[in-house]
Structure 1
Amino acid sequence: MPAGPTLAALPFDQFQAWMAEAEKAEPKDPNAMIVATATPDGRPSARAILLKGVDDRGFVFYTNKESRKADELAANANVFLLFYWKSLGRQIRIEGTVEHVTDAEADAYYASRPRISRLGAWASQQSRPLPARSVLEERLVEAEQRYPDEDIPRPGYWSGYRVIPVLFEFWQDMPYRLHDRTVYRRAADGTWEQSKLFP
């Protein structure tokens, strides 16, 4: 039976190693992840979002705080992330809770976005019914007229979340479906305990 991969002692180090390989192997958006939340009555809800930052504190993404996902996170801060790289035969599952990023972090990321994306944050009423595509286009024109140059402030309803992980599972495809599954679980003292799961 083929041996499984050797993984780092700390989950963030292992994540960075696999992400670096995904950035070389994946043709588009290696930082795409599924973010799963729950509705207030307990129904699951999921969507693909781009990871915009990661460090030892957690995983950051940005969104409209008046969106459906934001409403769900306000009601239940538990969240689940899933990265899947088919070309590498790998996935990473991450369980945790969310906190808001600081205004300074949100401002810095917002300022780095293309001009049309910044205007789009003003034009889009995310997750609300859209009568016709032309309505969004009209709202974008209005935003362009309001902010004709590069000085486009961040809307107060647009910000980010940091997912603070409590569990990672690294899954590696192996021959004969004898896959390798490594779990890192955060202990009460903040250290990480590593274990294996049957495939």
Structure 2
Amino acid sequence: MFMTLFLVLFVLNSTVFGLTCKPSGPAGNLVSLSFSGNHSEVYEVSHSKKVNGYPALVKAEETNQVFQFYECDPPTSKYKRGGQVRSVLNTSMCITPGAVYRFSVENRNFSKYPENADDRISLQPCAHVHGLTMRLQWFMGSETEKNCAWQISQQGWKTDQASDEVVLSENGVALDNQEKLKKRFGHQGRAEEGQGRRSSKK
């Protein structure tokens, strides 16, 4: 089944080295919900599993780790309105996917960038200037019909494809984009239990 990433929630302006941000919505645990809404999974930052030396985001039975979406002034015109997902315990640390999906002129489709990157999500120091790390950490946050939850999706640059579909492996969590998964498993946007949620490269 496909899982969409959410902040399930329970607020200080912040300026980080010239990047002006403010909390948007309440803070809460990081979870995913199935398309049907009848299944959820909880995630936390691991103390033992790493992504390029940084703590990896992994599935958990339960967690007391809390995150907050910060809406930031876009560092350049390449970014949509959005911001970063920061640890409440240490607001200098941000949720950081390992890749974005950018349009490839050669393939005439969206593909992972950097191409050979470990795309698992980790907790890394928040970027404060325009660059690849900022692009990886840039999310959009939106309210849902449930007051206690905000949906978040990685956007990167305006030209990148939004990614909020969870891909789960034994060693962590990655993000994929919905259109790619629909093409892989059919137009209904669903796969059999256990499919579409395993990362092939972990």
TM class, shorter-length: under 0.3
Tell me which protein shows more strand as a share of its residues: 2
Q: TM-score, normalised by structure 1?
A: 0.26
Q: Compute the TM-score of the two structures, normalised by the length of structure 2.
A: 0.25
Query: Larger % of helix: which?
Result: 1
| Greater C-alpha radius of gyration | 1
